[in-house]
Amino acid sequence: MSNTFLGMPSLPVFGSGNLNATEPFPKAARRELANTQLRANLGHATATIRDKRLKVVAELPDWEDMRDSGSAIKDATMANLPALLEQFEANFTVRGGVIHWARDAQEANEIVTALIQATGESEVVKVKSMATQEIGLNEYLQEQGIAAYETDLAELIVQLDHDKPSHILVPAIHKNRSQIREIFLREMVDVDPGLSDDPARLAEAARKHLRKKFLSAKVAVSGANFGLAETGTLTVVESEGNGRMCLTLPETLITVMGIEKLLPSFTDLEVFMQLLPRSSTGERMNPYTSLWTGVTPGDGPQNVHLVMLDNGRTAALADKMGRTALNCIRCSACMNVCPVYERTGGHAYGSTYPGPIGAILSPLMTGITSEENNSLPYASSLCGACYDACPVKINIPEVLVHLRGEDVDSTRGKVKVPTQMDLMMKGAQWAFSSGSHLNLLEKGLPLGKLVAGRNKVIKKLPGIAAGWTQSRDIPAPPSQSFRQWWAKEHKPGSAVGPGTTTEGEQA
Amino acid sequence: MSARDEVMNRIKSALRDAPVAPEIPRNYRRDSHMGAGQRLDLLVDRLVDYKANVFVVPAADASAKLAELLAGSSSIVVPHGLPESWLAAVKNDAGTVRLQVDSPERRLTVEELDAVDAVVTAAAVAVAETGTIMLDGSPSQGRRVISLVPDRHICLLLAQDIVEVLPEAIARLEPTSPQTWISGPSATSDIELERVEGVHGPRTLDVVILN
């Protein structure tokens, strides 16, 4: 294997699959905001998880040191990615694993399908995986006549309801217990008709539903949380044991992993396995973590494959400022603290990756000009809570601003009809360019007072400004401006000069 | 061009600006400050928080404790390398508890494992701060599947194998062994973020710490 660079530097090749918003975020968000059940469920869930996370993070005296390490390890991984990938490949292969490379979603889907078909099976069990969600594997397999069964409880709920996940960690966060009970009663064959909406009973129903599938499955598909270059080891982090079932019972295991998921050494796991559970579920440690390195004779699947996925990751890597988004370990801490996500939910982002990280990752992977993804960098108040929460210190607000600039640049030079905003800006430019212009405008202030009426508030502004008054009132303007007051108080010949103030008017 | 070469080329092209890998600071805690007693207490506290059943007994009482815990079970599975002395009292109970040994020569089928009441294993190391028990597939811990399919997992842990923080445990593990890290019984928080113990893995985790 050579490190030499073959061919000319290429243009970024963007990703495909479930990464694109098909409608602008503002439009999707408006619809989701109207769903009061969703907002109630989300508000409860994000508040709960935020509190839990803060509590367990506060327990560790070295939390910030760990964030510093995590951030540096990931930066180093990206800087050394070619060498680390080759190292990983060599170690995984020498222990009996088989590696496949996929340029995009389509190629990854084809590889997984061919591997399943080679086993002669038409059913697979799946442990929740962001990468396979991203490439739309389940839908693709269905078209090829292969049934893929999601086994994570939340993924199962979403799959049974023919819905889409709305959160990367708790995909059914938008559904409450009574909705879940209804889905189970409607979609699960052999379900107890007397099923209650107690979470313990619902979990038990899922156990019964999947038990036989697990014990008879011949092929499983998984994602991976980390790939360790030094040893060729893969890691899956989970809670329910469905991951362990998929990773140990079947004869064939097919894992799909983004090329950015590597860590250089086994030791680095000590940092990330402290950062991840506390940031994601607010637990000191998740119930189950599995590690495997290629094939272990006599233990677990003996036919082990790994699909290394690009699908736009190299395009993100090519963006010097945006490549830090690839440091993401999919903990979801950023969405749980995001005021925008808390109100709109994950569906509004239109991609596998919602919330603040999705608002940068999706446009980086697909290109800012793709479909409606150019609205995603604006889906933020830039409050910075996501940066504070991120265990690997991804400066999401900085990348959001950078991508907004990219969006503006991408439309620069295109001839277009001036918008109201353009006209307003032109007007403002005229007004603020000279004192006399501004003075002239300020003569209109009493008019504003008149519009406001007796209760001294303006309820509705015209045109583009109407958006601002949609959910708030604007106080009536004063009857005169500071400039007008100053001119009145400082008539030529008056004794009041600079450095003194008139009584009662101290600034 | 193969997909591999093309992806590699894209990566190298994306890194044209030749970013420099930063020095990795490792100022987080990497070794223990607690005494053995504190570590044990902390581990017990964490495991109980996860709803595991924890028993601290003198090492000499391992066999008796195990027999007591298994009193209601009709069949159990153990890995072939489990210390013989731990099973002495269980074997004396012959007739009440059926003991099956999983070994490289005789691997139990999934159906056989599904039919047993409990599995008994040892552990490689445990982390007090996170309440995590680590199994590494060695003969006293067995194949990954035996501690997964039975509904009850009884794990015997030597007190000297308890460390305080995760980095100490990582240093003791062989990276390429098939590992399972266990922090409490199977659990889910997928419904309204309310934690429920018991989904697909063992719904009961008993930890016997041999002091």
Tell me: the pLDDT tens digits for A188-208? 988 999 999 999 999 999 999
Instruction: Give the closest residue to A333 by CA, choosing from A273, A277, A380, A280.
Output: A280
Q: Which of the residue ranges A245-249, A458-462, A475-479, B172-176 would you say has the lowest mean pLDDT?
A: A458-462
Phi-psi domain of B205 (left: phi exceeds 0; alpha: psi -120 through 50; beta: other): beta
The residue type at B189: S
8 Å CB contact between B186 and A287: yes
Q: Strand, helix or coil at B188?
A: strand
Kindly determine whether residue B9 and residue A320, on different chains, have CB atoms separated by under 8 Å.
no
**What number is the average pLDDT over the span A74-85?**
98
Pairing of strands B75-79, B98-102: parallel
How far is it, in rounded angstroms, from Cα A308 to Cα A89? 10
Over 80: is that where the pLDDT of A335 sits?
A: yes
Phi-psi domain of B174 (left: phi exceeds 0; alpha: psi -120 through 50; beta: other): beta
pLDDT score recorded for residue B96 = 76
Is the CA virtual torsion B121, B125, B128, B131 positive or negative? Answer: negative
Instruction: Give the closest residue to A93 by CA, choosing from A308, A246, A373, A265.
Output: A308
Residue B34: burial class (beta carbons within 10 Å; 0-12, 13-18, 19+): middle
- Band of pLDDT at residue A494, cut at 50, 70 and 90: low
- Name B156's bridge partners: B208
- Band of pLDDT at residue A428, cut at 50, 70 and 90: confident
User: Rounded to the nearest 10 degrees, what angle do helices A81-94 and A63-79 cross at?
Assistant: 90
**What number is the average pLDDT over the span A160-170?**
90
Tally of CB atoms within 10 A around A406: 19
Q: What are the residue boundaries of the structural domains of chain A, listed by start?
A: 25-316, 420-489
pLDDT score recorded for residue A439 = 84
Single pTM value for the model: 0.88
pLDDT score recorded for residue B124 = 98
Residue B84: burial class (beta carbons within 10 Å; 0-12, 13-18, 19+): exposed
For A187, the token pair is 């979609």
Closest CA of chain A from B7, distance in Å: 6
Kindly determine whether residue B13 and residue A318, on different chains, have CB atoms separated by under 8 Å.
yes
Stretch 34-63 of chain B: residues touching chain A, C-beta under 8 Å: 46, 50
pLDDT score recorded for residue A417 = 67
pLDDT score recorded for residue A1 = 44
Is the CA virtual torsion A390, A392, A398, A401 positive or negative? Answer: negative
Tally of CB atoms within 10 A around B146: 25
Over 70: is that where the pLDDT of A415 sits?
A: no
CA dihedral (A171, B146, A96, A289) in degrees, to 10, reads 40
How far is it, in rounded angstroms, from Cα A237 to Cα B149? 18
**What number is the average pLDDT over the span A66-84?**
98
8 Å CB contact between B119 and B77: yes
State what percent of residues in chain A have pLDDT above 90.
74
Closest CA of chain A from B92, distance in Å: 31
**What number is the average pLDDT over the span A403-424?**
81
User: Which residues of B are less than 8 Å from A248 in CB distance?
Assistant: 143-145, 148
Q: Is B139 on the interface with A (CB under 8 A)?
A: no
Instruction: Give the closest residue to A130 by CA, choosing from A347, A314, A354, A339.
Output: A354
Pairing of strands A226-228, A233-238: antiparallel
- Band of pLDDT at residue B121, cut at 50, 70 and 90: very high
Instruction: Give the closest residue to A220 by CA, choosing from A258, A256, A250, A243.
Output: A250
How far is it, in rounded angstroms, from Cα A186 to Cα A380? 37
8 Å CB contact between B179 and A291: yes
Over 60: is that where the pLDDT of A130 sits?
A: yes
pLDDT score recorded for residue A252 = 98
Longest dimension (CA), chain B: 72
Instruction: Give the closest residue to B199 by CA, choosing from A245, A53, A273, A250.
Output: A245
Closest by Cβ to A82, choosing from B12, B171, B184 = B12
How far is it, in rounded angstroms, from Cα A27 to Cα A19? 17
Give alpha helix (H) positions in A80-229. 81-94, 105-119, 130-135, 137-143, 153-160, 177-187, 199-216
pLDDT score recorded for residue A424 = 82
The residue type at A85: L
Is the CA virtual torsion A364, A365, A367, A372 positive or negative? Answer: negative
State what percent of residues in chain A have pLDDT above 70.
94
Task: Please give the ipTM for the structure prediction.
Answer: 0.97
Within A216-272, strands assigned E span 219-222, 226-228, 233-238, 252-258, 262-263
pLDDT for A81-119, tens place per residue?
A: 999 999 999 999 999 999 999 999 999 999 999 999 999
Element (H, E) at B108: none
Residue B89: burial class (beta carbons within 10 Å; 0-12, 13-18, 19+): middle
B28 φ/ψ angles, rounded to the nearest 5 degrees: -75, 165
User: Which residues of A are less than 8 Å from B179 in CB distance?
Assistant: 289-292
Over 80: is that where the pLDDT of A495 sits?
A: no
- Band of pLDDT at residue A179, cut at 50, 70 and 90: very high
A489 Cβ contact partners less than 8 Å away, ≥ 6 residues apart: A496, A502, A505
**What number is the average pLDDT over the span A203-221?**
95
A479 Cβ contact partners less than 8 Å away, ≥ 6 residues apart: A445, A446, A449
Task: Domains for chain B: give ranges and CATH numbers.
Answer: 28-210 (3.40.50.10420)
User: Which residues of A are less than 8 Å from B5 in CB distance?
Assistant: 6
pLDDT score recorded for residue A434 = 87
How far is it, in rounded angstroms, from Cα B47 to Cα B207? 8
Q: Strand, helix or coil at A65?
A: helix
Determine the straight-line distance between the first and last CA of chain B, rounded to whole angstroms.
61
Report the mean per-residue pLDDT for chain B. Answer: 96
Stretch 146-175 of chain B: residues touching chain A, C-beta under 8 Å: 148-149, 166-167, 170-171, 173, 175
pLDDT higher for B156 or A45? B156
Tally of CB atoms within 10 A around A215: 15
How far is it, in rounded angstroms, from Cα B189 to Cα A281? 8
User: Which residues of A are less than 8 Å from B114 in CB distance?
Assistant: 215
Three-class DSSP labels, A374-433: HHHHHCCCCCCHHHHHCCCCCCHHHHHHHHHHHHHHHHCCCCCCCCHHHHHHHHHHHHHC
**What number is the average pLDDT over the span A122-151?**
97
Instruction: Give the closest residue to A293 by CA, choosing from B146, B76, B137, B33.
Output: B137
Report the mean per-residue pLDDT for chain A. Answer: 91
Closest by Cβ to B130, choosing from A78, A173, A284 = A284
CA dihedral (A358, A60, A48, A129) in degrees, to 10, reads 40
A241 Cβ contact partners less than 8 Å away, ≥ 6 residues apart: A287, A288, B148, B186, B199, B200, B201, B202
pLDDT score recorded for residue B92 = 82
pLDDT score recorded for residue A504 = 46
8 Å CB contact between B154 and B66: yes
pLDDT for A3-38, tens place per residue?
A: 455 555 568 999 999 999 989 999 999 999 999 988
- Name B162's bridge partners: B126
Supply the CATH classification number for the domain A25-316: 3.40.50.10420
Kindly identify which residue of chain A lies nearest to residue B139, measuring between CA atoms: A299
User: Rounded to the nearest 10 degrees, what angle do helices B62-69 and B84-92 cross at?
Assistant: 50
Closest CA of chain A from B180, distance in Å: 5
Q: Is B104 on the interface with A (CB under 8 A)?
A: yes
